[in-house]
Amino acid sequence: MHLGAAVLLTLAATLLAVNLAEGEKRIETRVESLYGVTDAQYLRSMGVLLGPTIIEGNSVQHLENGIEIFPAMLEAIRSARKTITFETYIYWSGDVGKRFAEALRERAQAGVKVHVLLDWIGSAKMDESLLEEMRRGGVEVERYHEPHWYNLARLNNRTHRKLLVVDGLVGFTGGVGIADQWDGDAQDKEHWRDSHFRVQGPAVSEFQAVFLDNWIKATGRVLHAEDYFPKIDNAGTMPAQMFSSSPTGGSESMHLMYLLSIASAQKSILLSSSYFVPDELALNALSAAAKRGVKIRIITPGEKIDASVVRRASRARWGQLLEAGIEIYEYQPTMFHCKIMIVDGFLVSTGSTNFDNRSFRLNDEANLNIYDAGFAAEMTKEFEQDVMKARRVTLEQWRNRPWNEKLMEHASSLLGSQL
C-alpha cells in the first residue's frame, strides 16, 4: 500500500474510533430507591447534586402538535423587542422553515439581536439560500460542530437541544423540529405527533444559560447583558428547572436524572419516548420499579417511524420489561415524537432527550423539569389520549413474533451504543 494511503487510512480509523468512544466514565451501578419524588430530599438531589437550582414562580403551557406549536413560537418571535436566541437540531427547507427564516430576519432588520445555532447534521437538509437570507438580514447564524480540522474528534457529538428564548422572558422547549413533518395536527402519517412547551417566569433564565453554553462553544462569544438576562418576575406557581447535559461536561447528568427519578417512583411512571433504546441500567431500574409496585406504561412509535433501526433495537430489549409487568404501547396513526416522563403525578420532565444512549451520552440535550401536581395531571390526560391511539404489545405477542423479526431486531440492538 502506498505510504500516503496508509497514513490516510490510519487517520480515518483513528477519527472513527475517537468519535465512537463515549468519553467520560459511565454510571456502573444501579441507583437505589431511597425516597419519593415528592420528598424534600429528592428535590435537593435534583437541584444540588445533579442540576441547576429549582426555581419557583413559573407558568408552563403545553402546546400539542404543529397547529399549536408553530403559531405560538412565531408569535413570540414577532413580538421580540431586544433579543432572540434559538438553538435547534432539525431545521429543514419547506414552508415551516421559510416562515421561521422570514420572522427571524424581519426582527433582525428591526434592530433585534437575533442569534441562531443550528446543528450541522440536523440542518443538512436546509436550503443554503435560507441561511444566506437570514444572514443578509442581520441574523447571526452558526452551525454547531461544522467539520474543521480542529474538531474532527467531535463529529459524533451533536446538539439535539431545542430552545427558543425571546427577550430573556419567554422560553420554548420540547420535541419539535423546524420542518413540515411537524406542521398540522398529526392528522395523517405525513404529519407527526409531538409536544412543545411555552414557559414564563424565572426559570427562563436557565434556558438562556443553556443556550449560551453551546453558543460559546460555537463562537467563543459571551452574551451577558441585561437584554439577555433581565430581571424576571414570577409568572405562576410552578417550580421548574432546565436540566442540560453534554459529552464535553456532565454527559451522565441527564442519564442520572432519569435513573434517580425512576428509582424514586412509588406509584406510577408514564413515559412517552420517540426513540426508546434503554441500556442495561435503565432496563434494571424500570424492572425494579415495576417489581416494587410502580405501574409503568410506555408509548413508543409503531411502524410509522422515521428510523426503523431504532424501533428494531428497541423491540429487542422489551422482554425484561414485559416480564416485569410493564405495559408497552406502539402509537399507530403517525410518527410519535414526544419525549415526556411523568412520575407519581408530580414530576414532568420534557425536552429534547430521548430514552437512548445517544441522548444520554453522545448528544447535547436539555430537559425542562416541572414539579407540580396540577400540571402533571394535565399531561397525564394527554398521555391517556395517546394511549387510546396506540396498540399494546403483550409479552405473548412479543415472544411469538416471527424469527426473522427477532434476528433483525437483535442485530439492530448491537448498534445500541450509537442509537
Interhelix angle 253-264/280-291, rounded to 10 degrees, is 10
Of 194, 151, 198, the residue nearest 172 (C-alpha): 198
Domains plus CATH for the chain?
Answer: 27-418 (3.30.870.10)
Q: What residues contact 274, with CB distance under 8 A and at least 6 apart?
A: 175, 300, 301, 335, 336, 337, 338, 339, 354
Q: Is 167 a catalytic residue?
A: yes
Q: Is 372 a catalytic residue?
A: no
Q: Give the residue among 31, 283, 238, 77 at the shortest CA–CA distance from 169.
A: 77
For the chain (419 residues), the mean pLDDT of every run of 10, in chain order, is 46 43 54 88 89 94 98 98 97 95 98 97 91 96 75 68 98 97 96 98 97 94 95 98 82 86 97 95 96 97 94 96 98 98 98 90 93 98 98 97 91 77
* Residue 160: active-site member: yes
Q: Would you give the DSSP letter of residue 54? A: P
Provide the pLDDT for residue 7. 37
Q: DSSP label at 182?
A: G
Q: Give the pLDDT score at 157.
A: 76
pLDDT of residue 150: 57
pLDDT in the model for residue 146 = 73
- Point out the catalytic residue in the list 167, 180, 194, 364: 167
Strand partners, 140: 115
Active site residue 183: no
Of the residues 160, 191, 196, 304, which is catalytic?
A: 160
The one catalytic residue in 119, 180, 339, 364 is: 339
The pLDDT value recorded for residue 158 is 86
Distance of alpha carbon 272 from alpha carbon 256, whole angstroms:
18
The CA-atom distances, in angstroms, between 319 and each of 20, 79, 296, 300, 323 are 27, 50, 15, 15, 6
